[in-house]
A = this chain, B = another copy of it.
Amino acid sequence: MRDIQNLHDDRKINIRKVGVKTISYPITVLDREKKLQHTVATVNMYVNLPHRFKGTHMSRFVEILNRFYGEFNLKKFHLILEEMKQRLDAEAAHLEIEFPYFLEHRALAGSIGTERYECRMHGSLQDVDDLVMEVDVPITLPGTDPAGEGLPRSMGRWGYARVAVRFNEFIWIEDLISLVQQGIAGTTGLSGSVESLCRQLGEALGETRAIGWFRVEVENLADGYSTFASVEGP
């Protein structure tokens, strides 16, 4: 019996994308304070317009991932993409990882020692490399201190800011989060709107030299639904 995959050149329909997805994987990422941070990622790997792709090639994605087991940084991203593109003989290669990133923060009474930020890195390689880094920064409503013991409880969740950037020069996840948090703090309070907060964050990112491109989406959790606004720049 002939391998059905080899026949594709005779057919009208060519595969545009093929790959593996939702691989759960323990990884390490760069951490400015602690050098490396251990976390758990969800990984997608796929290629565009592979030539003479056979089903058995599917295992190559996983082999490549396993060879780089452990560490994800910008350099590794590039190496994985290059190996994918080459070994699968494809026009373009894509690598997407999503992971929670934890930051220790000022030990307020009653605060969790670490705060969680959902991060995503989407790299692709066609002729040149492209990398987009995205992070979700939760926005909470600062509460009052009912018992007068220096314990300001949150009054709930206002929403979040989702920020995606391409950079001109390396930028730490920590610094991107700081930038957003300062932008939020700079607003005249959360009585404002998703539009005004979105513009404010857009301006802050637009003025940051290390950032070559950005997209901001601000979402406010309302009664049973959300309102949102987004900007892109420059």
Contact = CB atoms under 8 A, between A and B. Distances in A.
A82 B233 CA distance: 28
B158 A18 contact: no
Interface residues of A, number: 91
Interface in A50-93: 53-56, 58-59, 62-63, 65-66, 69
A208 interface: no
A55 B112 contact: no
Contact of A143 (B20, B110, B191): B191
B224 A13 contact: no
A178 interface: no
A141 B154 CA distance: 12
Interface centre among A17, A138, A223 (most CB of B within 10 A): A223
Contact of A149 (B16, B53, B56): B56
30 contacts: A3-B146, A4-B193, A12-B233, A15-B199, A17-B230, A18-B228, A18-B230, A20-B225, A23-B112, A24-B102, A24-B116, A25-B112, A26-B37, A26-B114, A38-B39, A53-B195, A54-B147, A55-B146, A55-B194, A58-B110, A112-B223, A112-B225, A116-B224, A138-B223, A140-B222, A141-B156, A143-B191, A146-B191, A155-B156, A157-B157
Given A59-B109, A227-B58, A153 B15 contact: no
Nearest first, the 8 closest Cβ-Cβ pairs linking A and B are A59-B110, A38-B38, A55-B193, A13-B202, A156-B158, A154-B222, A23-B225, A66-B113
A131 interface: no
A209 interface: no
B224 A112 contact: yes
Contacts of A233: 12-13
Contacts of A153: 58, 193, 220, 222, 227
B195 A62 contact: no
Contacts of A143: 191
